[in-house]
Amino acid sequence: MRVVLVLEYDGSNFCGWQSQSNACSIQNKLELALSRIADEKIRVIAAGRTDAGVHALYQVVHFDTTARRPLTAWTRGVNTYLPKGIAVLWANEISTQFHARFSAQTRRYQYLLLNHAIRPGILYHKVGWFHQPLDFERMRTAAQILLGEHDFSAFRAAECQAKSPVRTLTQLDIAHRGNMLIFELSANAFLHHMVRNIIGCLVYVGKGRYPPDWLRVLLENGDRSAAAPTFSASGLYLADIKYSPDWNLPRMAGRLNIVDEYRFF
């Protein structure tokens, strides 16, 4: 039997999604909890791996098991064995043709950036931070250059294992509420550190170090060393993953707009 789960997590206290030998990852914690409920060893496959410190509002995983349990066992039951920063929101049985990673059509990330002279306190680990004033319109102009299908070599980590650097970025919107900048990025898939590297480059444009057209130069040259440093993981959220409606996954299992949690900005 194949089971699909939707979960959310605060990545602050974990070493990322992927299983580690010291059992510090979200995958480690989830597999341990699932194995206790199933009374057998469970291995999960996720729609996407998140780095240390990155959060998720809508992560999708699947696993196979011989255990027969009520669906509530895979939600409330599993949650009793999970750390407080991780919660399964929804579970269902699904065809073995479904694959959390390969059946996904698009992924959406949000990045929250506090642009204020004073660093955050209560939102530490929940938002990125930049202390100098940023030119919002320059950043929006630069963002439009990245839309479409491109070779994103200049925006991938050196350790990225993707076979191809070509991705199709369908959304890169920037809005602001007071001192908070809100980035929305959607693509068919993302390279390792791609979102954080894009944010870093947009910040360089916003503070006036480079003109907006610099991003076009980076795309054409594909030189990671010429781009901005990788930005902080703290403000990054895996916000949504879209699948064919045929799979009947819930569309509102998580809080799909984390900005709504921070209305006081």
- CB-CB neighbours of 241 under 10 Å: 22
Dig out the tokens for 35 from the structure. 């194995």
Which residue reads 């954080």 in tokens? 196
Does residue 238 contact residue 57 with C-beta atoms inside 8 Å? yes
Can you read off the two tokens belonging to residue 181? 């900048």
Q: Residue 89's closest CA among 259, 265, 228, 251?
A: 251
Strand partners, 177: 180
Which residue in the list 51, 64, 213, 223 is annotated as catalytic? Answer: 51
Amino acid sitting at position 48: G
In DSSP terms, 205 is beta-bridged to none
Active-site annotation holds for 151: no
In sequence order, the 6+-apart residues with CB closer than 8 A to the CB of 84 are none
Beta bridge partners of 111: 183, 236
Q: Is 81 annotated as a binding-site member?
A: no
Which two tokens mark 169?
């970025």
Give the C-alpha separation, 229 to 214, whole Å: 15
> Which structure tokens are listed for 183?
């980035």
Residue 196 backbone zone (phi > 0: left; psi -120 to 50: alpha; other: beta): alpha
Residue positions in the annotated binding site for substrate? 109
The residues annotated with a catalytic role in the active site are: 51
